[in-house]
Amino acid sequence: MTPHEEFLELCAAATAGELTAEEQAKLDAHLSSCRECRKAMAEYEVATRQMVAAAASEVNAREPERDANWSVEDAEKAFFRRLETKDSLPNDSAKDPDESNKIGQRFTYRPSQFRWREVWMSLAAVVILALALAVTAYRTGVKRGTDIAFTTTEPGKDVNPSLDQQVKDAGHEHAELVAKVGEQDRLIADLRKQLSEQEKMIASLKAEKPSGRPISAPPANPGPNDANSQRDQQLATAQAKLSDLQKAIDDLTSQRDAVSSQAATLEAKVGELTQLLRNRDLEVDQKDDEVAKLQELLQYDRDVRELMGSRDLYMADVHDVSKSGTAKTYGRVFYTKGKRLIFYAFDLDAQPGLQNASSFQAWGRKGPDKLQARSLGIFYEDNASKKRWVLKANDPKALEDIDAVFVTVEPSGGSQHPSGKPLLFAYLGVSPNHP
């Protein structure tokens, strides 16, 4: 028995479902590597199906005969007879525990692992193919989307390139033209040099030529006049070369003039574009300034709204507290307890004996000791024409628990503690009077 024959027998037995687990595994391992046996296995299965079909048709053909002879009693007898036969079977099947299970398992399809693997591999291939198609479709879609995005944005770029880009392009083109003009200038100078040398040569040839005979006329007889003839020839060649050189110089000069004119036009364009660019920058700067001012105004507006809309606002007019005090208002205080204080003061710089470098510093006082006062900041001139000064304090810590505010003149930059005489004083320790 050849090794293949052994496996062919296993193949045949497999179609009947009569293999042990061990034999099935052995067959599967062999089938995975043997094409011939796989083919034989498939053909055994076909042959088996044909046999089953043939049996079925023969059973059908016998059916009427059986119907006539068939009875329940006979069937029961046959059944019990077979049961008894089965019970009294020798222990062959007991040797293999699987054997007993196999009785009555006829035609049970037992697909081998190899065949399932083929099915799973096919399914896996289909899944992978589907995934690949999905990824390809997605990528194609993304690419098309990107392409569309490019095609929709690029025309805008071409139609209206930025001013910067235009200046750069024109500048680059101008530089190229200037370089070309320079190159042509060098070429022309070279040609002029050649022309000059040629002219010199012609002059020297003419000087050597005996008078009375035209240059182009051939010599009467060669022999003694050979030298003259040669000289005439040289002269004619030199004059032709001279003429060519002159022509080349004329051509180049006209080209150079054209390029120069082009370069001049471009230079003018660059100048124009640069001016446009400057104007645009100026406009942008102006707009930035306007925006900054608007933002500042908005901030003021917000401050005013916050202050005026505050529930516990205290407003007070401030008067001169010096000995020569008048009824004239020198300032106004808007105070929201512990949150915000705005102090407007007028004519601060009109104080007698004030030096230019002095600062006006505001202090928040708690209790009678003015040395314990906290600095609230230095006044700045809000409106020079109205001689109005202002101080804003938003630091809740500095405004905490103060009961009065006063102003002193301090050295430029302010002091840690009040050192000058108080100019203005406002008491804040009363209940809010607005609204």
Partner 1 sequence: MSGIADNLQGIELGTFSGADYDQTVEGLFGRNSWQRVQEALTEDQRETLRLFFFEGYTFAEIAEKLGQSFCNVRHHYYRGLEKLRRHLAENVLNRR
**Interacting residues toward partner 1 by CB under 8 A:** 8-9, 12-13, 15-16, 18, 39-40, 42-48, 50-59, 85-86, 89-90, 92-93, 99, 102-106
State the minimum distance, in angstroms, from the CB of residue 142 to partner 1.
43
**Cβ 70 to partner 1 shortest distance, Å:** 16
Q: Closest CB to partner 1 among 8 and 315?
A: 8
Minimum Å gap between C-beta 49 and partner 1 is: 8
Best CA proximity match to 139, nearest among 147, 128, 151: 147
d(CA 334, CA 304): 10
| Nearest CA-CA partner of 52 in 116, 112, 108 | 108
Interatomic CA distance for residues 27 and 10, integer angstroms: 7
The pair of structure tokens assigned to 435 is: 């609204």
Find the shortest distance in angstroms from Cβ 23 to partner 1.
Answer: 10
Q: CA 426 from chain center: how many Å?
A: 60
Question: Smallest distance from the beta carbon of 74 to partner 1, in angstroms?
Answer: 16
* Alpha helix positions (H), 103-225: 113-159, 163-208
Minimum distance of partner 1 from residue 138's CB (angstroms) = 37
Task: List CB contacts of 329: < 8 A, sequence separation 6 or more.
Answer: 317, 318, 319, 346
Nearer to partner 1, 75 or 142 (CB): 75
CA distances from residue 409 to 74, 122, 243, 253 in whole angstroms, order as listed: 135, 96, 95, 80
Q: Is 19 exposed, middle or buried (0-12, 13-18, 19+ CB in 10 A)?
A: buried
Residue closer to partner 1, measured from CB, 96 or 197: 96
Question: Which of 10, 249 has the CB closer to partner 1?
Answer: 10
Whole-angstrom distance, CA of residue 42 vs CA of residue 45: 5
Here the tokens at position 262 are 């082009």
CB of 5: closest distance to partner 1 in angstroms?
Answer: 9
Minimal CA–CA distance to 16: which of 94, 104, 87? 104
Q: To the nearest whole angstrom, how small is the minimum distance from the Cβ of residue 116 to partner 1?
A: 18
Nearer to partner 1 by C-beta: 52 or 354? Answer: 52
State the nearest-atom distance from the C-beta of 119 to partner 1, in Å.
Answer: 16
Paired tokens of 208: 């050597």
Q: Which residues of 354-389 are buried (b: 16+ CB within 10 A; e: fewer)?
A: eeeebbbbbbbbeeeeeeebbbbbbbeeeeeeeebb
Q: Which is nearer to partner 1, 105 or 233 (CB)?
A: 105
Cβ neighbors of 238 (< 8 A, separation 6 or more) are 198, 201, 202, 205
CA distance 381 to 358: 13
Q: From edge to edge, which strands make up the β-sheet containing 313-320? A: 374-378, 359-365, 404-410, 422-427, 313-320, 329-336, 340-346, 388-393, 380-383
Question: Taking the complex as a whole, how short is the minimal distance between the CB of residue 147 and partner 1, in angstroms?
Answer: 47
Q: Which two tokens stand for residue 235?
A: 């002269």
